[in-house]
Structure 1
Amino acid sequence: MLTAAPITDNASTLANEVRYLQQLIRFRSVTPDEAGAIGWLSEQLEQRGFCCHRFTIAGVTNLIAKIEFGSGPSVAFCGHIDVVPAVASRWQCDPFAGDIIAGEIIGRGAADMKGGVAAMLEATDRLLADTPSKGTFYWLITSDEEGEAEYGSALIADYLEQHGVVLDACIVGEPTSEQKVGDTIKNGRRGALSAKLQVSGKAGHVAYPEHTINAAHLGAQIAMALQEIVWHKDIEGSKTSLQVTGLHVPNSLDNLVPAQCQINFNVRYSHGYMSRDIQLQIGEALSRWHEHINISWERPCEPYYTAGNKDFDFITLVEGAIFQCTHSYPKLSTSGGTSDGRFFANAHTQVIECGVRNHTIHQDNERVPVNDLLKITDIYTATLRKVFA
């Protein structure tokens, strides 16, 4: 539990990005309900000269905003305003109030990732004050990142493609920093794939095992075989891992050999693979049990990786902005969970994730220090100026 201190909420003394974050937190935008957050953000961007297009599908609201400065690169800020639920009784304050306690802004989504949205809005203000002269700047925001991600950024990417929009780069405001703001950025993410594996045996009396096929024994062997797979296509810094997340035998009798066993597992895989490769390799590893198993695959999320581009190297640009603001260079990483960056990354579009620290995301009393918010705002500002100024 945090130690409470007097709440500071004097709007006249707060930095713009702090006030923006407080406002965003106060929208109870639990996936997929935008709860007014995207409406408010759209109004803010329209006031700043952006052309905004909103569309809602299956309860998910998406925002595409655009402003043109001149010829030059097309770069987008991508993010989400939806959050996971919060149980108020476990928080030290209202999780949707945006209170400031001991120099930290407390609230659901403070770090993941309304803090990134608030910082980018202030960075946009600073950019516009410089009268930028080149490029096209997009905002791509959804209310469906924390859920199944079926009707959010995937559809935004489809919309852009249908309208002939080719982005040169995206910066995703996910919380990527570890010990201090700017120490880590993501230039890719591993893929993710879940599966349910049904094992079928033959039931019978435990005293006569020779007449049975014990599904629990098969399940244990299969679980071990899954752990022993060698992933030869792994790329340095992007290793594949497989975790068994469930092992269930629906049998309550101690004198009955079970005929069924279910194994659940999840694979987080290197960008050296695609989901089909993972399925094939697992199928080969389990081939000796093929008569006894049936696998159903779920929620495939393909990996992405950004290596830079000689004509417009977005990694180097973001690294330079971070060094300018922190006097140190960030670590490149592809670790962690999936993100919406995968929907925008392709052979042409470079995607970098960069945001505040991730040490409290999805936790009770999620929070971001005010100084961290100010620092990421400076990094975003430096990045935008390098692109558009």
Structure 2
Amino acid sequence: MGAGINNGRVISELLAGRMTRREALLALTAAAAAAALPFGARAQDVGGIPLARPDKPVTLPLHQQPIASGLKPESGGKFYIFNYDEYVDPKLMTDFGQKYDVEVVLNAFSDIDEAVTKLANGTIDADVTELTNNRIAQTVAGKLLQPLNHDYIPNLKANVWPSMQSPYYDQGSQYTVPYTVYTTGIGWRGDKVAEDIHKLENPWSIFWHAEKYKGYTGVLADSREALVLPMLYRGQYDLNTEDPARIAQALDDLMALIPICNPKIVTTGYQTLPDGNTMLHHIWSGQMLAAAMYNAPEGFDTSLLQYWVAPKGKGPIQNDVWAVTAQSKKPVLAHLWLNFLLDNDNAYHNFVDYNGYQPPITAITAERLVQEKLIPANLETAIIGPDDFGPEALQEGQLSSAGQKLWQEAYARFTAG
């Protein structure tokens, strides 16, 4: 029986309440592994949900109705947010807790793979969770999230870019609201790197010619981003391939970097570039902005920080989201947390005072940030606009369970050296 048929049966059982979330995720993984897709084939769904792409948007199925309108927010006790450490300003958590008379508790994860696993296993307390958009279908199929009632989230319509109010991966924003947007590019120290990467015919190639920066080069510690780097180097723009041969080639290219530049596999470029522990970095735009805004040593000239990003459709652009978990014991308050983060002032200060990752808020523009001298003009390339998203944007989308396994196993081999 094909993976799509098995997945359809599993999701039907799940939606009917005859299967737990954990049982469903295990079944979905087993079905994908048993499908034995031919080399080069592309799976078409995860848990019966089509794989969304910018030019092929998907409306996610509802496994329950959203909470009713007009309910009072829960108060007292603890309210759990599940997120990366240092990705939301503790001051915002304190302010929210005081406003609604709860203790806001951060349970942190190190990466999205860990987050999804803990949500599925039920081993973490979480009223709300931060996720990447390419894991939404998987978490919906696993019945890990609950659908949203937008009556509690008016800031979504009032403040967020129109292009992000009904994103391709969650048409109608039925389960998620956007949190941050970012591109993946190349960051470097202008006083340490001799090449003008902006002018290279193939800027991605710098990593394979980085002998001069051996031990001072960084590659993102992310199973998708790391393997995407060599694909872009080779001019391959199907960033959602499930072709084992292409993934193997990407792994070989990554392994070739070890004797060339011995890269650090990290997500700390926002610290290591300004402090000189790296000179060249595969990096997210948010990390470059954070480096300039508040991670540079005192007296450091932030104009030395350079960032190259590929033209639209030639380099990755992503966004993170917030969602309400199915396990939430405070679902009204969870909705209000999403709305709180989309408040203009809260979003702005979370960005410029704490994490450096741009929220898709209409009130925040590159011109404003430069005028207020929050970033040097040389990092305007790290600021994103609403038109950077759309059907032609290059995005790392949801993979099938089998495809996810291929990418994760290849990345694990790279990190093992």
Given the two structures, how large is their TM-score scaled by the length of structure 2? 0.25
Q: Which has the larger radius of gyration?
A: 1
Structure richer in helix, relative to its length: 2
TM-score of the aligned structures, taking structure 1 as reference length: 0.27
